[in-house]
Amino acid sequence: MNAGSPDACSPKKPGWPPVARLGLADIAALRDLEQLCFSYHWSEAQFKLGLERGAFHFLGTKDQGRLTAYVAFSAVAGEMEILNLGAHPDYRRQGLATNLLCAVLHICRKMGIETGYLDVKPSNLPAIALYEKLGFTCYGRRKNYYPDTGESALLYRYDFPHPGADAAKPQSASKESD
């Protein structure tokens, strides 16, 4: 079971901008924001291929038509993986990443996803705090994973709650019935 607050995503905080699905028309803005957020980034062709093939899902928030934050994720065979999460430097620490991750968790729950994964640099303490607040737990490390810094990746997992799962668990037998 995840240790995060069950209410971390609910209710929606006042002032959070709406989350929208991003598509082919948003590729240039996605590429530009990713280049601003990360020293290594996807190409426009990679974004296009992921969207056209339906391999990746992109959600974003906008302010007056300007893309302010986005999340990219895949969802296949009962598993979800957060591929990228970035916010424009002018919009960081305003809850956009929380808003986007909550939207991903909500969508994945509706899709019947069972487990979610992501990786993060150990130096990215704000991201780690966010993931743990939402219920992700660290389960491992990949050494020298990130090409820009050579840092290891911390591996995080999210186990989606299953409605009625507690009711389906067998009751433990008492000593009297042994």
Amino acid 126: pLDDT = 92
120 and 153 in contact (C-beta within 8 Å)? Answer: yes
Phi-psi category of 103—alpha, beta or left, where left has phi over 0 and alpha has psi -120 to 50? alpha
How far apart CA 114 and CA 54 sit, in angstroms, is: 20
Q: Is the pLDDT of residue 115 over 90?
A: yes
Q: Is the pLDDT of residue 171 over 60?
A: no
Cα–Cα distances in angstroms (integers) from residue 1 to residues 6, 14, 128, 157, in the given order: 11, 29, 18, 10
- What domains can be seen in the chain, in order of their start residue? 20-162 (3.40.630.30)
Q: Is the pLDDT of residue 122 over 90?
A: yes
CA torsion 51-52-56-58 (nearest 10°) is 20
Cis ω for the linkage preceding 11 (within 30 of 0):
yes
What pTM value is reported for the model? 0.83
CB within 8 Å of 20: residues ≥ 6 apart:
59, 60, 61, 62
Across the chain, mean pLDDT equals 84
Residue type, 56: F
The proportion of the chain whose per-residue pLDDT surpasses 90, expressed as a percent, equals 56
72-107 residue pLDDT tens: 999 998 999 999 999 999 999 888 999 999 999 999
